[in-house]
Amino acid sequence: MLLLRRMLTRLHTPHIALLRAPLFTRKFFFIFSAAKHIAVNYLFPMAVSLGNVRPCVLTSFHHKPTPRVCRSNLRFSKNNRLRLLLTKFSPSSKRCCHFHPLKSSSINGFSVQNDSLEHFDGEVNVDFNEKIRRWIRFIQSILPGGSWWSFDDDVEVKIMAKPVTLWRALGKMWDLVSKDRWIIFAAFSALIIAALSEIFIPHFLTASIFTAQSSEIAVFHRNVRLLILLCVTSGICSGLRGCCFGIANMILVKRMRETLYSALLLQDISFFDSETVGDLTSRLGSDCQQVSRVIGNDLNLILRNVLQGTGALIYLIVLSWPLGLCTLMICSALAGLMLIYGLYQKKAAKLVQEITASANEVAQETFSLMRTVRVYGTEKQEVKRYKHWLGKLADINLRQSAAYGFWNLCFNMLYHSTQVIAVLIGGMFIMRGNITAEQLTKFILYSEWLIYSTWWVGDNLSSLMQSVGASEKVFQLMDLMPSDQFMSKGKKLQRLMGRIDFVDVSFRYSSREMVPVLQHVNISVNPGEVVAIAGLSGSGKSTLVNLLLRLYEPTNGQILIDGFPIKEVDIKWLRGRIGFVGQEPKLFRMDISSNISYGCTQDIKQQDIEWAAKQAYAHDFIMSLPSGYETLVDDDLLSGGQKQRIAIARAILRDPTILILDEATSALDAESEHNIKVATLSNGLLVKSLHFLSLYVLICYYI
Ligand SMILES: Nc1ncnc2c1ncn2[C@@H]1O[C@H](COP(=O)(O)OP(=O)(O)OP(=O)(O)O)[C@@H](O)[C@H]1O
């Protein structure tokens, strides 16, 4: 007991974890305290592997570990099938076993290892010299060009987008807004007039002050009148410029979203196997929004400041070329820094967008699987998963802010050095009688103007680079060619009889190239024949249907419709003649009538919808809903069987020549299933489900 108490006083809060472990494990630890490092490093992990200790309670079991760490991966734990990462410290450590459950979750195609989410929170026993060495290493890393600035460690996300140059991005943006080029021309005209007016303001300001001082009243009044005129012109034109660029920006973002959305909708289904919904919606949302700054803000301010800066530079050189050249040199240094800073921000922005997309992906997945999350109580885990990406985002934002700080520091130093140089050299020139006090005042005003213009150009250029970096993936997606099915028209047969032949068809999904799903399949179905395809789960029944609907192309062999290769038939026309009810029918967030008539090209009346609903035995339950056919539904507001009945009604309403039911009545009770069969039979349709224990059945019926 004494030993136990002593051990307990030495165990601070995190070690309570050990007490939760089974008695066997506790005894195991205390009795063999003499050989504790062996126990901790080798025996305890074994206890975990045998299932005596749950790995999650071990996470905080560590005490003064030495910094020397060796890692090995263990793959055990029978009950919860977690993969463990055992971090084993050197024998000199006191108790230092540290486990992290490695729950791999695939996000953006890359696995996220949750061990990085839980940080080592124990105190680290390091000597003073080691601390100093660490500090020196840290300081070295945060100096310009140091490792802290590199983003390489953060690239846990898949960056597929090819780099887009600034000119290419601007060219693409121009393509999108060129239809409304008048607004751009109006914006540029206003910009030029405003910039020119503003350039002359310091000149007439200084001239007015000095003419007032020398009592030249007529000249003073003329200068003041001109000053007022310039102020009014620049005010009006600046307002016009801002408004026109804002409109151009709105047009750009709108077209960008439209183009991207249309490009995505025309992709092959296999494209959606590799891209996730969260990622794509993030491209449409935040990535396109990033571009919204480009025209209305960045380009606008860059152009204005380039014009004003050039004007100020010319004025300075005319005023005094030695002073002008000094300012030019400082501005060139600023421009060099600006370029490096801009490129850094571009890279950071690209990563920020990728990580934002990954965070969105997690959120989208969690919200769509909310019921599963609630039932399994994994809310905290999901928050952790989301926080992981937020942490990454914060990390990059931190570096972006630090870079911004550096950029500000450089700017301020260079800005003040121009003032000092101007006063030093200008003062000497005044003393020598080379220039007047009025000229020096104008010089200081214009050099300030020049340096501020350079600053604004740099700031907006880096913002522009960020927008370009953020929109790389958007541009890449917008460039994707539509699926072949939308490119080639194909033949419309005079009449679809319904003969189908699968001739030596083999298939494998492109996302899993190594796994053959179908191999040399030959099936023939005559018009009017009902065929049931039965097979074990995962044997490829739904895949057959996918090929018949031409959602995928066979890797070998071909499918014939009435003797014509399906590839040569107009696929839109063919799909219009096929009624399909899938395994898990999905409903759109719209009323029931719209859901039933969804995709129907014929002129549909309410009676037709109700007729189809009656055939599918959906009418009664629809009428029992508060607003009947007007009731708003979606994927979550109806039972599985009710959704299936609406989907069957949708298929019936199309009056299809070929009806494919992919276990379409699996969620219905036996009576409803029977009723639907009888009802559809009387209209020449047969719906039949065969349930062979765990076997799954697909029925194809041709009329
Ligand atoms: N989009 C996809 N990408 C990669 N592999 C897929 C895809 N869809 C299905 N598979 C794989 O193809 C195989 C056949 O799947 P399919 O859905 O056709 O089976 P099934 O016979 O309909 O199964 P069940 O009776 O369980 O619905 C499975 O091994 C599955 O993992």
Q: What are phi and psi of 579, to 5 degrees?
A: -100, 130
Closest ligand 1 atom, residue 545 Cα: 18
Q: What are phi and psi of 83, to 5 degrees?
A: -90, 130
Q: Ligand 1 centroid vs 540 CA: distance in angstroms?
A: 6
Q: Are strands 658-662 and 578-581 parallel, antiparallel or unpaired?
A: parallel
Closest ligand 1 atom, residue 583 Cα: 27
**Tens digits of residue pLDDT in 261-311:** 999 999 988 888 888 888 888 888 888 887 777 776 788 888 888 888 888
| CA–CA gap between residue 351 and residue 332 (Å, rounded) | 29
Three-state DSSP at 216 gives coil
What CA–CA distances, in Å, run from 362 to 40, 161, 350, 353, 371? 36, 21, 19, 14, 15
- How many CB atoms sit inside 10 A of residue 401's CB? 10
Q: Ligand 1 centroid vs 83 CA: distance in angstroms?
A: 27
Q: Ligand 1 centroid vs 213 CA: distance in angstroms?
A: 89
What CA–CA distances, in Å, run from 337 to 145, 151, 330, 406, 657? 13, 19, 11, 10, 69
386's tokens: 């989301």
**Tens digits of residue pLDDT in 163-187:** 677 788 888 888 888 888 888 889 8
Per-residue pLDDT at 107: 36
| CA–CA gap between residue 471 and residue 289 (Å, rounded) | 9
| CA–CA gap between residue 47 and residue 38 (Å, rounded) | 13
What CA–CA distances, in Å, run from 584 to 275, 589, 605, 670, 679? 21, 16, 27, 18, 22
Give me the amino acid identity at 580: F
Our measurement of the distance from residue 653's CA atom to the centroid of its chain's CA atoms, rounded to an integer in Å, reads 39
Our measurement of the distance from residue 346's CA atom to the centroid of its chain's CA atoms, rounded to an integer in Å, reads 16
Residue 52's contacts (CB-CB under 8 Å, 6 or more residues apart) are 21, 22, 24, 25
| CA–CA gap between residue 434 and residue 220 (Å, rounded) | 25
Structural contact between residues 130 and 330, judged by C-beta atoms closer than 8 angstroms = no
DSSP per-residue letters across 633-659? E-TTSS-HHHHHHHHHHHHHHT--SEE
Nearest Cα residue to atom 6 of ligand 1: 509
Q: Ligand 1 centroid vs 546 CA: distance in angstroms?
A: 10
Angle at 592 between CA 591 and CA 594, to 5 degrees: 70
Q: Ligand 1 centroid vs 531 CA: distance in angstroms?
A: 20
| CA–CA gap between residue 662 and residue 666 (Å, rounded) | 9
Could you tell which of 521, 536, 539 is best to mutate to test the pocket of ligand 1, judged by most ligand atoms within 8 Å of the CB? Answer: 539
Q: What are phi and psi of 13, to 5 degrees?
A: -40, -50
Three-state DSSP at 74 gives strand
Angle at 270 between CA 483 and CA 261, to 5 degrees: 55
Per-residue pLDDT at 678: 59
Residue 273, ligand 1, Cβ within 6 A: yes
Tokens 């991966």 locate to 73
Could you tell which of 269, 517, 690 is best to mutate to test the pocket of ligand 1, judged by most ligand atoms within 8 Å of the CB? Answer: 517
Element (H, E) at 623: helix 619-624
Nearest Cα residue to atom 1 of ligand 1: 273
Q: Ligand 1 centroid vs 544 CA: distance in angstroms?
A: 10
547's tokens: 């090929």
Per-residue pLDDT at 126: 61
Angle at 611 between CA 610 and CA 617, to 5 degrees: 85
Tokens 């299936």 locate to 644
> Which residues share a beta bridge with 84?
74, 101
**Is-same-fold flag (166-478; 491-702)?**
no
Residue 509, ligand 1, Cβ within 6 A: yes
Per-residue pLDDT at 214: 78
Q: Ligand 1 centroid vs 542 CA: distance in angstroms?
A: 7
By the 10 Å C-beta count (0-12 exposed, 13-18 middle, 19+ buried), 452 is classed as middle
Could you tell which of 272, 508, 542 is best to mutate to test the pocket of ligand 1, judged by most ligand atoms within 8 Å of the CB? Answer: 542
Residue ranges of the chain with per-residue pLDDT less than 70: 1-126, 144-145, 151-163, 296, 664-703
| CA–CA gap between residue 253 and residue 283 (Å, rounded) | 12
Q: Ligand 1 centroid vs 543 CA: distance in angstroms?
A: 6
> Which residues share a beta bridge with 241?
none
Residue 538, ligand 1, Cβ within 6 A: yes
**Tens digits of residue pLDDT in 31-74:** 334 444 444 444 444 443 444 333 332 223 333 333 333 333 32
Could you tell which of 106, 505, 508, 512 is best to mutate to test the pocket of ligand 1, judged by most ligand atoms within 8 Å of the CB? Answer: 512
Nearest Cα residue to atom 31 of ligand 1: 538
Q: Ligand 1 centroid vs 697 CA: distance in angstroms?
A: 14
Could you tell which of 106, 543, 552, 698 is best to mutate to test the pocket of ligand 1, judged by most ligand atoms within 8 Å of the CB? Answer: 543
| CA–CA gap between residue 10 and residue 94 (Å, rounded) | 11
Q: Ligand 1 centroid vs 541 CA: distance in angstroms?
A: 8
Residue 541, ligand 1, Cβ within 6 A: yes
What b/e sequence results for 150-178 when a residue is b if at least 16 CB atoms lie within 10 Å of its CB, and e otherwise?
eeeebebbeeebeebeeeebbebbeebbe
Structural contact between residues 63 and 95, judged by C-beta atoms closer than 8 angstroms = yes
CA 693, 696, 700, 701 torsion-angle sign:
positive
Structural contact between residues 260 and 479, judged by C-beta atoms closer than 8 angstroms = no
Q: Ligand 1 centroid vs 50 CA: distance in angstroms?
A: 35
pTM recorded for the entire structure = 0.65
Could you tell which of 267, 509, 521, 689 is best to mutate to test the pocket of ligand 1, judged by most ligand atoms within 8 Å of the CB? Answer: 509
> Which residues share a beta bridge with 530?
701
What CA–CA distances, in Å, run from 277 to 15, 270, 357, 576? 42, 13, 10, 26
Phi-psi region of 490 (alpha: psi -120 to 50; beta: other; left: phi over 0): left
Q: What are phi and psi of 100, to 5 degrees?
A: -130, 125
Residue 543, ligand 1, Cβ within 6 A: yes
Q: DSSP letter for 539, please.
A: S
Tokens 């219905």 locate to 668
Q: Where are the beta strands (DSSP E) in 445-588?
A: 500-507, 518-525, 530-535, 556-561, 564-565, 578-581
Residue 94's contacts (CB-CB under 8 Å, 6 or more residues apart) are 36, 37, 63, 64
User: What is the CATH architecture of 166-478?
Assistant: Up-down Bundle (1.20)
Per-residue pLDDT at 263: 92
Domain boundaries, the chain: 2-149, 166-478, 491-702
CATH of 491-702, one of 3.20.20.10, 3.90.1200.10, 2.10.260.10, 3.40.50.300: 3.40.50.300
Go through the chain and tell me how many residues it has.
703
> Which residues share a beta bridge with 660?
580, 700
Nearest Cα residue to atom 10 of ligand 1: 509
Q: What are phi and psi of 74, to 5 degrees?
A: -115, 145
| CA–CA gap between residue 476 and residue 501 (Å, rounded) | 39
Q: Ligand 1 centroid vs 674 CA: distance in angstroms?
A: 28
Residue 539, ligand 1, Cβ within 6 A: yes
